[in-house]
Amino acid sequence: MNEHRNGAASMSLQDLVVDNPQQGIFRVHRSAMTSQEVLDLERQRIFERSWLYVGHESEVPGHGDFRRREIAGRPLILLRGSDGTVRVLQNSCRHRGAMVCRLDAGSADTFTCFYHGWTYDNKGALVGVPDAQGYPDSFDRAELGLVPAPRVGNYRGFYFVNFDAQAEDLGAYLGESRTFIDLVVEQSPHGVRLLPNTIRYGIHANWKLMSENSLDSYHVPVLHQTYLQYMAQQGVSVSLTPDGSSWGLDLGRGHGAFSGLARSEGFYGSATARQSEATQREIERIRREQVERYGQERADWAPGRINLLVYPNFAFVGKTTVRSIWPVSPGYTELSVWTVVPVDEDAQVLAARVNDIPLFQGPGGFATPDDVEALESCQAGFAAREVAWTDLSKGMHRAPQSGDEDQIRGFWRQWHADMLERPSWRQSREPAVATPRQP
Amino acid sequence: MMADGESPPRQDSTTQLPIGMQQQVEQFLYREAALLDAWRLEEWLQLFTPEARYIVPSTDFPEGQPPEYPALIDDDLTRLRGRVTRLLSGRAHREFPWSRTRHFICSVLIEAVDGDDLAVTAPFIVYRFRHGRPTQYVGRYLYTLLRVGDSLKIRRKRAELDMGGLWDQGTVSILL
């Protein structure tokens, strides 16, 4: 099906995105955000074929530790077996289908289905069936373990799944985005971990508006004025002036990144962190270790604020949180957010960091509620159907800057190619601006 | 003074509370709720002590303590004042125009008395109506109140939510 209906208008998929670099025109038809048929196709052509984030290895540190996750509509278990291997298994009993894992998190040697009592070990093998002699000889326990996700990949501790068994490898898929995941991981010489809680909220807006928002710094000085004013009152200037450290990057394959704030800011811009001498000393110590380990240039990037979108729905926000974005209906999206912290961080610095993050981010922050409001306002505005097009042409005529929309256009180009089933677009593009070099 | 997250010894149910204390605490909390519902937020701020904290934990681990369990809101008085300034500015867009809210408090329980500190808990429902559409916040308050002469001050206010996620609410843009 390459047509869908939006009220009275009928649009072909081909016409949903207008991309004309020569004339500096980039538009998206707003029915892409309101149509159920578009969402049905997105599920088939994007979410069934892309690598989707499941969780981080630090969430299941010990043998038997598990986390329940729902990914692309599937109930999954992220699980570390007694052999130390992390697996991603479908949470459905092979017998009649009930979920064998009914807690969001925990640790277990075995999972026993509460319906008839089939029991699986923490590697997924079926190890117990009540009244086993009731089954014929053809019944083969060895083939009846919990079913793994078709493809599972891990990049630096971040686990992804793909429901397309033919999909390219995770590393090739992540492409250029790996450089930025490296920068997140390398904010400490010991790597990062995720804190145990999940911040969960819903937005009455299309999922793509959240993916766009994760790549958008144009809005920051306008929408988040009250946050910037509060920070200024605390004596912290959060500069958005393009000063060489401001850039936006279309990383190819729909991935994108931007850095809009001066390198020295980022989460360390916290007034709390700056006021404490002990915290300052710890920051200096981390910095020295980073210079020793990764070199001066790369260490300069470490404290900087970087947003990264891993296409289609996984974002790193300011190196302090990660979020997964899930469509429920064209006009409703659910988010799960986890906090990323360096492993072995000094207790005082950790406390300052964790206190600082919700000042800007999250449902109770000084900024995120305004993003939620803006996205919901856009979705409500789409009801003005005669206003058919969204404009995303900012910066088409120049080398991309942070506040330009180049990286958002990259997302939409991949989206359009996927919807039209043009696999050739899934190739890495040369980034328009030099990225930090690999060490 | 109690450290954050620490509770004073529990009140023995057989111990008689000083006469009038229950009523004083209830009246204080009802007046606080009325200030919030009237958006008289500058006056509301006056209820807090200088070292006060206002905390809304994450919805999946409401009992969790930072830093291991980051909160949705973890304000000292400086940040709380900033939050009020923001809400009153007309540029906290989630609250422009302001929602109508109604704070319901019941079953106010004085859990412990430790010198001038009172540990108080109470279930709550806060209704929020914006453009006529309702959402609700359900949970329980944990207060540390300080007796100052004949009146009370808030040393700590923690609003633990029961909803598991903010699926319908999206945010905590109002003061709970």
Could you write out the three-class secondary structure of A109-161? CEEECCCCCCEEECCCCEEECCCHHHCCCCCCHHHCCCCECCEEEEECCEEEE
pLDDT tens over chain A, length 439 residues: 445 554 434 589 999 999 999 999 999 999 999 999 999 999 999 999 999 999 999 999 999 999 999 999 999 999 999 999 999 999 999 999 999 999 999 999 999 999 999 999 999 999 999 999 999 999 999 999 999 999 999 999 999 999 999 999 999 999 999 988 988 888 777 899 999 999 999 999 999 999 999 999 889 889 999 998 998 888 776 655 444 456 788 999 999 998 755 444 444 444 455 557 777 777 777 778 778 877 777 666 655 678 899 999 999 997 889 999 999 999 999 999 999 998 988 888 888 889 888 988 999 999 999 999 999 999 999 999 999 999 999 999 988 777 899 999 999 999 999 999 986 554 544 444 444 433 2
3-state SS assignment for residue A307 = strand
Task: Please check whether residue A154 touches B, CB under 8 A.
Answer: no
In this prediction, residue B3 carries a pLDDT of 47
In order along its 176 residues, chain B shows pLDDT tens digits of 444 555 555 666 557 888 899 999 999 999 999 999 999 999 999 999 999 999 999 999 999 999 999 999 999 999 999 999 999 999 999 999 999 999 999 999 999 999 999 999 999 999 999 988 999 999 999 999 999 999 999 999 999 999 999 999 999 999 99
Residue A53 sits at φ, ψ, to 5 deg, of -70, 135
Would an 8 Å CB–CB cutoff place A235 in contact with chain B?
A: no
Q: Is the peptide bond before B134 cis (omega within 30 degrees of 0)?
A: no
Please report residues of B whose CB lies closer than 8 A to that of A202: 165-170
- CA-to-CA separations, A187 to A154, A174, A183, A256, A299, in angstroms, rounded: 19, 20, 6, 20, 8
CA distances from A24 to A19, A246, B85 (A): 8, 22, 41
Q: How far is CA A209 from CA A116, A381, B95, in A?
A: 44, 13, 21
Question: Which of B4, B128, B158, B167 best tests the A interface by mutation, with the highest count of A CBs <10 A?
Answer: B167
- Distance CA(B159)–CA(B43), nearest Å, equals 20
From the list B69, B74, B173, the residue facing A197 with the nearest CB is B69
Q: Does A226 touch chain B (CB under 8 A)?
A: yes
pLDDT computed for residue B14 by the predictor:
56
What is d(CA A320, CA A303) in angstroms, rounded to the nearest whole number? 10
With H, G, I as helix, E, B as strand and everything else as coil, classify residue A329. Answer: strand
3-state secondary structure of A434: coil
- Chain B hits for A359, CB-CB cut-off 8 Å, are 79
* DSSP secondary structure code for residue A80 in this structure: E
3-state secondary structure of B129: strand
pLDDT given for residue A205 in this prediction: 98
How far, in Å, are A239, A342, A364, A396, B80 from residue A354 at the CA level?
22, 11, 14, 38, 17
A350 vs B59, B67, B91: nearest CB = B67
Measure the CA–CA gap between A432 and A410, rounded to whole angstroms. 12
Burial of A96 (0-12, 13-18, 19+ CB in 10 A): exposed
pTM confidence score: 0.91
- Pairwise CA distance, residues A103 & A105, whole Å: 5
* B130: chain A residues, CB-CB within 8 Å: none
- Answer yes or no: do B64 and A357 touch at CB < 8 A: no
